[in-house]
Amino acid sequence: MKKQHYFVVVLAHSLHGRLRRIHIPHQAMYVVLALALFGSVSLFGMVSSYLRMSWKVANYNSLREQVDVLRSRYQALERDNSQKQEQLASLQLMASEVSMSLGIKQGLEGPDSIANEGPLVPSYRESIESYNFLKSASFSRINHVYARSWQKNIVPSMWPVNGQLLSRFGDRQDPFSGEGAMHPGVDISASTGTPVHAAADGIISMAEFYAGYGRLVTIDHGGGMATRYGHLSKFAVVPGQEIRRGDIIGYSGSSGRATGAHLHFEVRLGGSPVNPYPYLKRSPLLQQTQADLPF
């Protein structure tokens, strides 16, 4: 019979002096060592996985902070661009009004030095040409004034619907993408079918379905100023129609890119959107709505 090999562990009691021997077979010791090795490898794997996960979380947080910084920079650039557009539109409108009031839009050209150009007094033919040009410009100015003589209230000064402000002009969070976006107008609460009124006298330049605006009505008030009314459910006007302040131009709804029924209202100068609030702040409805949003 083959003799079994084993390890002997001796235990001695400190008080009684008794000895106790424990026989541990070689196979049991090998099993214990194998289990210890397996546990060490498993523990090493768990620690490595934890460290990798911690590293990935740290990288994710760093990337998210970078995205937030880039988003803030983008929004700041967007605000600057909007302000520049407003300033440019105001300058264009001012230049247009000055040139219209003078009745002269003819550019003056000439060399840098006119010392050798001869006498400065215009000739007879040049005087006739200047006279004809001024007469033509004056005639056009008279026709323009006559064509809009019936329009007295050409500056938006009336709330198009009786409602509360839902979204302000400028930077906001896009309700669909969740990203920062430029809102070119204001949103006013209005249930579907609410009559929408013109904010000022003008001529209908557009009444059609237009991209995210849905059913859109645009009124040209002259002098580079226009107003837009979006997300309508129904039109009440046609392009080319003359409109007075307070006339019904359509009915509110949720057409186009809208989360619910409301009216999107814009004021534009020279084609660029500007904040409608300064034009509406003198309206009697201001007392009911000015606390809703911090303009």
Q: What was the pLDDT predicted at 104?
A: 44
Query: pLDDT tens, 35-62?
Result: 888 888 888 888 888 888 888 888 888 8
For the ranges 70-74, 135-139, 209-213, 218-222, the lowest mean pLDDT is seen at 135-139
Q: Is 47 exposed, middle or buried (0-12, 13-18, 19+ CB in 10 A)?
A: exposed
Please report the pLDDT score of residue 101 as a whole number.
54
More confident residue, 132 or 207: 207
Residue 143 three-state SS: helix
pLDDT of residue 107: 43
Residue 253: pLDDT over 80: yes
| pLDDT above 90 (res 215) | yes
Among residues 202, 196, 160, 170, which one has the least CA distance to residue 275? 170
Report the chain's mean pLDDT, rounded to a whole number.
Answer: 77
92-120: burial string, b at 16+ Cβ within 10 Å, e else: ebeeeeeebeebeeeeeeeeeeeeeeeee
